[in-house]
Structures are given as structure tokens and as C-alpha cells.
Structure 1
Amino acid sequence: MCVRYRFNKRVRLSNSEHYHSVFQKAHCVNSLYLTILSRENFLGSPRLGLAVPKKEIGNAVDRNNFKRLARESFRKNQHKLPNKDFVVIAKRHFQKLSNNETFLVFNKLWSRLFLFSLG
């Protein structure tokens, strides 16, 4: 049986207040390629926000590719994640990764966030 996970409005950070609350008191996990900030929410499901600075990734095609991969990774892992707001921030070195390598990096960071929420 195939379970479908969606990326709808309910799981998105939708305005600047949501982003600011995550940036104020965030738990942070890093890699060379991206950073994920997280903060507890009381909504019953995880939510995702994306920050892809032009200064880090100047090409619009690469920025959009990063967003697409981040949303897909979140969509596939949201059932494992704690009820937190997440902001994914791209770093310059992301452009060196293939799509499969990007998913491996995301999976590693999601796992670290999950383990942190347990302990």
C-alpha cells in the first residue's frame, strides 16, 4: 500500500512572522551545503520554510532546483519529523551536489533533527 504525503499550504511557513519566530530561538543543524533551523510549534504537524539567498546561489535555475529538492525531501520525511517549524537555508556549495547526493544530505540532517527531538 502506497501512502501519499503532500506538500500543501498547511505545511508551509507562510509569512514573515513565522520565519522570524524560527530565527529567534532556533535549534540548528549544519552541513557544508545547507543549514536547517527548527523551532517547536503547537500545530500538530511540521512546517517548512525556505531561504535561498541570491548571494549564495546567484542563478535562478539553481535556486529553484534547491527549493524543489528541499520540498520533495520534506514531503517524503514529514511523517518522521517532530511538530516543529523548519527553515532550510541554502549554502553556496550546494551547487556541487547531484540530486541523489542532495537527498542524502537532507536525510542525514532530518535524522539528526529527529534524534535531537527525542533526547
Structure 2
Amino acid sequence: MSVEKAYRIKKNSDFQTIYKKGESVANRQFVVYTYNSNNEHFRLGISVSKKLGNAVTRNKIKRAIRENFKVHKQDIIARDIVVIARHPAKNMTTLEIQGSLEHVLKIAKVFNKKIK
């Protein structure tokens, strides 16, 4: 099961708005843009460039990111979030990706309570 449709950002115009007006934080593996939209829940956009590898590799990274958001669904405040994977992410396991993503999301302050 994946993140429901209502929780996804698909439109290029939405991505562009978030890039222009949102705030970004980053670690070595991910860049996270956040933008305060007036939704009742968060929306997630994922960007994994073709430079990171073939479709299998990119989809693996995207699945790990989605899984992390599914696990923390209740703890994420309502805003638009775009996650961009960087090159080091392609050699990481799902667990490493989740750890790194949690780290950068804490910096971005998208959790509504303290996550261990």
C-alpha cells in the first residue's frame, strides 16, 4: 500500500510553487522543500533524477521515501513537502534511506512531535 492520492503532489506547477516559495533544508542524501499550503494534511512530492540510476534504482528510492512517510503519517504537520534524492542515496539500503530522511525531516521541522 502506498501513500493515498490526496497525499501526493503530481502537478509540475505545484512543484514549481514549492521550489520558488518554499523553504529548503538538506543533508548529503536528500533535499527537502516545505511549503505552507492550506491543506488539512501533508502532501508529498518525490523527485529522483535519472542521473541516480535506472528505473529499478529510482523506484527503490521512491518506495523507501514513501514508506517512511507512511510510517510517520500521523506525526507530520500539514504542509507540502518535496523530497529530492541526491546521488549518495542510490547506494543506501531502505533502512539507511529512512534514517537519513528522518534526520533531514527533523531539521525541516515537519514532525508535530518529537520523533526518537
Superposition TM-score, scaled by structure 1 size? 0.85
Q: 1:46 to 1:26 in 2, by over 3 A?
A: same
Give the length in aligned residue pairs.
113
Q: Verify the 8 A CA contact 1:22 1:38 in the aligned structure 2.
A: yes
Deviations 1:15-59 (A, max 9, x none): 11211110111211111111111100101100000111112x122
Q: 1:94 to 1:45 in 2, by over 3 A?
A: same
Structure 2 unaligned regions, length at least 5: none
**Once superposed, what is the RMSD of the aligned Cα atoms?**
2.1
Q: Cα offset for 1:87?
A: 0.7
Find the partner of 1:9 among 1, 5, 18. Answer: 5
Q: Percent identity?
A: 25
Distance 2:53 2:93 in 1: 18
Q: Cα offset for 1:96?
A: 2.2
Residues 38-117 of structure 1: pairs in structure 2 closer than 5 A: 38-55=34-51, 57-114=52-109
Structure 1 unaligned regions, length at least 5: none
Deviations 1:52-94 (A, max 9, x none): 1112x12211100011011111111122112110111011111
Tell me whether 1:19 sits opposite 2:21 in the alignment.
Answer: no
Residue of structure 1 in register with 2:26 after alignment? 30
Q: Verify the 8 A CA contact 1:7 1:71 in the aligned structure 2.
A: yes
Q: 1:116 to 1:48 in 2, by over 3 A?
A: closer
Superposition TM-score, scaled by structure 2 size? 0.87
Q: Cα offset for 1:6?
A: 6.2
